[in-house]
Structure 1
């Protein structure tokens, strides 16, 4: 290798690196940044050269950076040189995200040069958060189950003694006191039985059932009790696999979710129940749902009510957490639903947007014989996933984690990507003259333009651009609220990579 080939080798290494690599001078000015850096921080390629590295840091760290550099150059003290540490980065759109930073120093022609390698920790943090939440619920479940079991023993003694007193000829006054005590003890027993369901120690009686039939039975009861101001719609697939569940617990779960939906719509509204088979067969969907790949029957319950805050979503399945304490809420309804689904071998997901409603997804393992399961997987894997040819997809999504995942999925399919955090920014990008083949946009976003509004503007002003919308709701229960129509294709979250690939190809 000749010295003349060194710059070419450096360029090849920089471009091949999956992590961000930045080379900066002693004044913190960026001399080189590889393509992965531009993608990670949301800049166009080459835009960072000449900028200060502070531009990639949150304000608090950016203010301290120059002092760190001056101290190192003056003293030679190596606090972080040659070491790695976790820090935060700032993208061009202002979003803050976690990074692992390693810094090295080299002296070239007597001048110090600093090399930074940055690895995005977003996905790791998400996985750790999901694991921590699952472990917390498991720990709470074990504690709850033990307490409920002990209380059941105490209540058995209390109820037994009260019944003995009742049978031994208590007078009228004593019978009244005994009846009140028995009623309270029975309420306590009911409470502990619900806690045992959350702890996954309830006594389930699973049988093979069709979810559609079970839902129809529950709806017959709900339609008489939920009130005339509420509309219940159903969207059942014509063919659905059987599942092994306890029908009584399923109906209890459905009623709990429906009553929650009603409470979220005090002035009336609509909720929808959707049932269909799904096959989770790729890493992306498993990551979104935290489910082991396989065949499932998915039951979606969506409403167009008030929605939930992020804090409420994080605690929704914990026992005794409630946003309705002033209205008599106990905080056990969703905890029971969670425990029942998990004890049935399934999983539950929650998607909500403030002001636009909530959607729960209940996934139950499909019951199939070995041959039919094998045939189903052959059908799924027989056709190759269609790929793009470097067409440009503009990803419009306000959730940074979802936006990053969507970009990864689309790039894996052979497309190039641009991104915008909301409909307003996406419209500005289009007006600036950028070339886009497809817009892949969420429906519910902050700002003046929701997904439908953006789609309408694109159709009117940029007719050659194709549009694919996506929603976390079971079906578009928020269409009327957003002023949309059924004219646009909507891909419902969570979706498989093959579903995304086929929809994108169909548009082209």
Structure 2
């Protein structure tokens, strides 16, 4: 066999031929891509020219509008837009002239436009000068002369003609771009076909087909095993996602209910406190009835707070916290909650990181977990509170929704009680779900813990087996900044007398609920202040315009049309020394972001007592 025939039979001829065709197709693809880029650049150039024309026309209109506004009102503020427009027009014309430097027809139009524009601006300046000099009749006569209108009409015609010319260029360049794109696509498809053919040819000429088949079989088995594992993991993630979406939906519902319920509770609590103040010193039977009503209102308010905690709508005040000192400080409180049958042990880790959390809410969460553990150990047992440093990696974060990998401070609460079944664990964080007998619990304890920790950027995990006990781990975000964490007191002393105001201190109360506004206003008057009332933000702004002696703005956050945050901004803009106190039963993102109050915001949550209102108002009015 001749060398040429051996070359063809070996298959190398086909490979060489294929690479030659591949090189040719690559050259065509590169050439088409260069054409496409060039066409795209010209297309963008045309769009920029049109943009300059639109901008030029807009500035002309702004200049005329500012002139008319000044002539009508003689208010210098209307000239800001006119001055800005006239200052920008020459630059826009120069930029436009540079862009169409390759188009003599467009350059001629710009030259005419520059002359007409100069004349129109001279007329505007002349009219403005006459108005400033109180020569209104002369200014009016100049406007009525029609010179300005004729110039503007001609300018519009020129701009319209230039724009039509650019539109024609745009269509032509779009066709060029599409044609180049078609050539590029065809070349890419040809490249793909050639590469595929070369691969197939090489595969058919492979000398070790059996080994390749065995390798493919092994790879397929591994892929199948990986697919089974991925399917199982995806099903688990989908289950978590459904649970998360269910809790989110219930959270939105409970948050809305809590808002309305807090408004009603605010009226009830305020009215009871006013009634108690009015009946001070009278028959003790009345005081007992009021106390009973207040007790019921307080329990209802506590339930609403738990609903807000679950729905992640409560305002938090996170601070650096030493978890070891915190656990030690609440041990006596937890021991009293557990009773004598249950042993309490604390295991505190050395070198514990600092956490950043709202201590009061964390204290409530630990007490809730301790009470649940006590109920799970009716015959006695052991409760352990443990602290530790933890790092939750990417793999763990992938398996748990809404969790960021990183460093956390863990507080684990472990009991030796009855434990939970997998079915109970899956519903444990649902609000109002409880395994306790009727009347023994609201079912909001764990849901409150879950909502609070999630809102704080942490994570909650339940480990439990029926008959083997339960361990609930709270992962709190680590605080990396340098500073001495502190454990603050959980209770504040109650003052003997209410701090009162004076009639010279004027308070503007803004509340869209008529009943709540009436009762709150009565309470503020009871404290000695002068009260002005407004049913919405617009009415409040009108009052602020008329009264310069308002010392404090007391406003609801959630209101129609204008919320409390926007009202506060506009009010302080008009009265820089005005103090603001927000009152609300449900905080949205107006003053709370990422679960934390905005800096400098003073907030009083509904329902509040007359004492709390008095203390907060005096704190704000006496502060810097």
Partner of 1:50: none
Paired residues for 1:103-502 under 5 Å: 120-169=230-279, 176-281=288-393, 283-290=394-401, 291-326=403-438, 328-369=440-481
The Cα of 1:165 is off from its aligned counterpart by: 4.2
Instruction: Return the alpha-carbon distance in structure 2 between the equivalents of residues 277 and 119 of structure 1.
Output: 31
Go from structure 1 to structure 2 and tell me whether the alpha carbon gap of 1:273 and 1:160 turns closer, same or farther (over 3 Å shift).
closer
The Cα of 1:223 is off from its aligned counterpart by: 2.2
Indicate yes or no: 2:228 matched with 1:11: no
Go from structure 1 to structure 2 and tell me whether the alpha carbon gap of 1:35 and 1:181 turns closer, same or farther (over 3 Å shift).
closer
Go from structure 1 to structure 2 and tell me whether the alpha carbon gap of 1:277 and 1:14 turns closer, same or farther (over 3 Å shift).
same
The Cα of 1:161 is off from its aligned counterpart by: 3.1
Instruction: Return the alpha-carbon distance in structure 1 between the equivalents of residues 309 and 335 of structure 2.
Output: 26
Go from structure 1 to structure 2 and tell me whether the alpha carbon gap of 1:286 and 1:172 turns closer, same or farther (over 3 Å shift).
closer
Taking structure 1 as the reference length, the TM-score comes to: 0.50
**SS at 1:298 equivalent:** strand
Q: What 5-or-longer segments of structure 1 have no aligned partner?
A: 18-33, 41-98, 100-117, 371-508
The Cα of 1:326 is off from its aligned counterpart by: 3.1
Go from structure 1 to structure 2 and tell me whether the alpha carbon gap of 1:321 and 1:172 turns closer, same or farther (over 3 Å shift).
same
The Cα of 1:179 is off from its aligned counterpart by: 4.0
Go from structure 1 to structure 2 and tell me whether the alpha carbon gap of 1:183 and 1:300 turns closer, same or farther (over 3 Å shift).
closer
Cα offsets for 1:425-479 (capped at 9, x unmatched): xxxxxxxxxxxxxxxxxxxxxxxxxxxxxxxxxxxxxxxxxxxxxxxxxxxxxxx
Instruction: Return the alpha-carbon distance in structure 1 between the equivalents of residues 378 and 284 of structure 2.
Output: 44
Instruction: Return the alpha-carbon distance in structure 1 between the equivalents of residues 458 and 444 of structure 2.
Output: 19
Go from structure 1 to structure 2 and tell me whether the alpha carbon gap of 1:211 and 1:175 turns closer, same or farther (over 3 Å shift).
closer
Greater helix share, 1 or 2?
2
Structure possessing the higher radius of gyration over alpha carbons: 2
Instruction: Return the alpha-carbon distance in structure 1 between the equivalents of residues 335 and 291 of structure 2.
Output: 34
Contact conserved, 2:408 with 2:478, CA < 8 A, in 1? yes
Go from structure 1 to structure 2 and tell me whether the alpha carbon gap of 1:356 and 1:185 turns closer, same or farther (over 3 Å shift).
same
The Cα of 1:284 is off from its aligned counterpart by: 2.4
Go from structure 1 to structure 2 and tell me whether the alpha carbon gap of 1:175 and 1:237 turns closer, same or farther (over 3 Å shift).
closer
Instruction: Return the alpha-carbon distance in structure 2 between the equivalents of residues 176 and 162 of structure 1.
Output: 12
* Structural RMSD (CA): 2.6
Contact conserved, 2:337 with 2:370, CA < 8 A, in 1? no
Contact conserved, 1:280 with 1:295, CA < 8 A, in 2? yes
**SS at 1:137 equivalent:** helix
Go from structure 1 to structure 2 and tell me whether the alpha carbon gap of 1:198 and 1:13 turns closer, same or farther (over 3 Å shift).
same
Go from structure 1 to structure 2 and tell me whether the alpha carbon gap of 1:348 and 1:176 turns closer, same or farther (over 3 Å shift).
same
Go from structure 1 to structure 2 and tell me whether the alpha carbon gap of 1:173 and 1:319 turns closer, same or farther (over 3 Å shift).
same
Contact conserved, 2:355 with 2:476, CA < 8 A, in 1? yes
Go from structure 1 to structure 2 and tell me whether the alpha carbon gap of 1:238 and 1:182 turns closer, same or farther (over 3 Å shift).
closer
**SS at 1:244 equivalent:** strand
Contact conserved, 2:462 with 2:473, CA < 8 A, in 1? yes
The Cα of 1:254 is off from its aligned counterpart by: 1.0
Go from structure 1 to structure 2 and tell me whether the alpha carbon gap of 1:173 and 1:266 turns closer, same or farther (over 3 Å shift).
closer
The Cα of 1:171 is off from its aligned counterpart by: 6.5
Go from structure 1 to structure 2 and tell me whether the alpha carbon gap of 1:186 and 1:301 turns closer, same or farther (over 3 Å shift).
closer
The Cα of 1:172 is off from its aligned counterpart by: 6.5
The Cα of 1:369 is off from its aligned counterpart by: 3.6
Partner of 1:495: none
Greater strand share, 1 or 2?
1
The Cα of 1:193 is off from its aligned counterpart by: 1.7
Instruction: Return the alpha-carbon distance in structure 1 between the equivalents of residues 377 and 387 of structure 2.
Output: 23
Go from structure 1 to structure 2 and tell me whether the alpha carbon gap of 1:182 and 1:274 turns closer, same or farther (over 3 Å shift).
closer
